[in-house]
Homo-oligomer: A and B are copies of this chain.
Amino acid sequence: MAIDYAQMTVSEAAGAIASGDLKPSTLVDACLERSRSQEPAVRAWAYLSDDQALMAARLLDSKNVSADPSAPLHGIPFGIKDIIDTCDMPTEHGTPMYNQNRPARDAACVALLREAGGVLMGKTVTTELAHFHPGKTRNPHALTHTPGGSSSGSAAAVAACMVPFALGTQTTGSVLRPASYCGVYGFKPSYGDVSRSGVFECAASFDTLGWFTRSVEDIFIIRRALIHAPASTFVPADLSQLRIGVFRGPEWSKADPQTRESMESAIAELKPLVASVQDIEPPDGFDDIAHCHKMIAGYEFARAISWERTQRQHQLSPKLLLGRCEDGLQCSYDEYVHAQATLAEQRRLIAMTMQQQDLLLTPVAPGEAWEGLAATGDPVFNTAWTSLHLPALSIPAFKGPAGLPVGLQLVGGFRRDEQLLAAAECVQQALGIGNVRAVN
């Protein structure tokens, strides 16, 4: 049987290209072929660029990259959430008010990935202005279920092997939740690590670029390209040295019974293999985080979208306009400042916890993807970690009652992202979770 290049991880494909066994155009062609066959069912793409991607790949075919460490993504196709600017494809922000919008430049993240040799294949479906109102994307594991949001298309495209990786953004839980629902790896780095220049602003205090892959190592590779760090070898941590905190937290009862059981089993499995497993109590005031997040996100969003709110009001969904936007306008500066101060204190407290732990294990979503496409699910297990600015990873660890994927969340210390990824790699190996392959 012929090798299905579309199923390769970034690391596998980059290796095959570097050794001369695979041409960039062959890989891009395989991903385009796969996209064409899957797209009618999955609907991951807002814009898919056949010609441009193939042309870019063919230009790369002739270059010898085995000796070019500055192009670790040479010939690797990728997708990006359609709130990220591109100079050669439309950027429509998930709303008709930006039909055929063509920015003058690429967002910094796109330029960095292209600089590293990546081939942009297209723009993936997002919810309206990266909020609640869903796009057309369906969950590759069950087409009648939501893929999660707002980075819906990016998660689904990676799960359906249309691209080996894709960018999303997270303001609440918009990377981690769809990763869990679609059964792929999803990563939100430490707040501030990756430039958001050219990415639609929702709430500047939380907005973070994230990405979806089919392996932990790939997250590491993409991260280094996005922060313009030299490529280097990914070295898993030593499992026996790991200090794991188990954070069930105040929302634990909102996790489905099977999610809780799965997590407890995983903990029991890890316990004899690691240095320590410790139950972590939420710091005092942890319960206030979700409310503070809601206030700040609303306050900042209502102001950031002032042009849309005042000039294109009729094109905003009632849910956005009367919900987050109106809430945000009602929030006073003093309330906003108070909420910011509360979060600053929570960040100080969690930093003390993270000095004692290499990572926290915690649910990433209550359970499987919701049935229906009218809503994208509940970010209840994501809000706190986004608010605390910590790096967080969803690994496709479990199955729910209906056989759909359920993730496990690993949270690391602020700006210790590589340490988290190294730890995640040995944790998933211990749990017997491998790279993700095609759903069908």
- Write the A397-426 contact mask toward B (1 if CB under 8 angstroms, else 0): 000000000000000000100000000000
Asked if A143 is an interface residue, CB under 8 A from chain B, the answer is no
Query: Could you say how many copies of this chain the assembly holds?
Result: 2
A306 touches B111 (CB 8 A): yes
Contact between chains at B98 and A104 (CB < 8 Å): yes
B227 and A303 within 8 A (CB): yes
* 8 Å CB contact of A106 from B106, B205, B302, B311: B311
Q: Chain B residues near A98 (CB, 8 Å)? A: 104
- Which one of B112, B196, B229 lies within 8 Å of A201 (CB-CB)? B196
- Assuming A101-B104, A111-B311, A415-B337, is B229 touching A304 (CB within 8 A)? no
A104 vs B114: C-alpha distance when bound (angstroms): 24
A234 at the B interface (CB under 8 A): no
Cβ of A256 within 8 Å of any chain B Cβ, yes or no, is no
Question: Does A110 make an interface contact (CB < 8 A)?
Answer: yes
A371 at the interface (CB under 8 A from B): no
Across the interface, which residues of B come within 8 angstroms of A329, CB to CB? 228
Size of the chain A interface, CB-CB below 8 angstroms: 42
**Complex: chain B residue closest to A104, CB-CB:** B101
B108:A305 contact, CB within 8 angstroms = yes
CB neighbours of A110 from chain B (8 A): 307
- Asked if A197 contacts B304 (CB within 8 A), the reply is yes
A332 within 8 A of B: yes
Which residues from chain B contact A340 at a C-beta distance below 8 Å? 192, 415
CB contact under 8 A between A195 and B300, given known A104-B98, A110-B307:
yes
User: Of B108, B205, B415, which one neighbours A307 at CB under 8 angstroms?
Assistant: B108
Query: Do A205 and B229 form a contact, CB below 8 Å, given A111-B310, A310-B111?
Result: no
Residues 104-153 of A at the B interface (beta carbon under 8 Å): 104-108, 110-112, 114-115
Contact B195–A201 (Cβ < 8 Å):
yes
- CB of A218, distance to nearest CB on chain B (Å): 19
Residues of A277-314 at the interface with B, using a CB-CB cut-off of 8 Å, are 300, 302-311
CB < 8 Å neighbour of A306 from B87, B115, B192, B229 = B115
How many Å lie between the Cα of A311 and that of B105 in the bound state? 9
Instruction: Evaluate contact between B201 and A197: CB separation under 8 angstroms.
Output: yes
- A310 lies within 8 A of B114 (CB): yes
Interface of chain A residues 219 through 241 with chain B (CB within 8 A): 227-229
**Contact call A108/B227, Cβ cutoff below 8 A:** no
Give chain B residues whose Cβ lies under 8 Å from the Cβ of A197: 201, 204, 303-305
| C-alpha spacing A309/B114, complex, angstroms | 12
Contact residues in B for A87 (Cβ distance below 8 Å): 307, 311
- Tell me, in angstroms, the Cα distance from A204 to B208 when the chains sit together: 12
- A205 to B192, Cβ gap below 8 A? yes
Most-contacted residue by chain B among A105, A300, A307, A340 (CB, 10 A): A307
Set of chain B residues within 8 Å of A205, measured between Cβ atoms: 192
- Is A304 a contact of B201 with CB atoms below 8 Å? no
B residues near A195, Cβ cutoff 8 Å: 201, 204, 300, 303-304, 306
A residues with a Cβ closer than 8 A to B are 87, 98, 101, 103-108, 110-112, 114-115, 192, 195-198, 201, 204-205, 227-229, 300, 302-311, 329, 332-333, 337, 340, 415
**29 A-B residue pairings within 8 Å (CB atoms):** A87-B307, A87-B311, A103-B103, A103-B104, A105-B308, A105-B311, A106-B306, A106-B307, A106-B311, A108-B201, A108-B303, A108-B304, A108-B305, A108-B306, A110-B307, A111-B311, A112-B303, A112-B306, A114-B310, A115-B310, A195-B300, A195-B303, A197-B304, A198-B201, A198-B307, A228-B302, A228-B303, A229-B332, A340-B415
5 closest Cβ contacts across the A-B interface?
A: A111-B306, A111-B307, A197-B201, A197-B304, A106-B307
Other 13 A-B pairs with CB < 8 A, given A106-B307, A337-B415, A340-B415: A87-B307, A103-B103, A111-B307, A111-B309, A111-B311, A115-B306, A115-B310, A192-B204, A195-B201, A197-B304, A228-B302, A228-B303, A228-B329
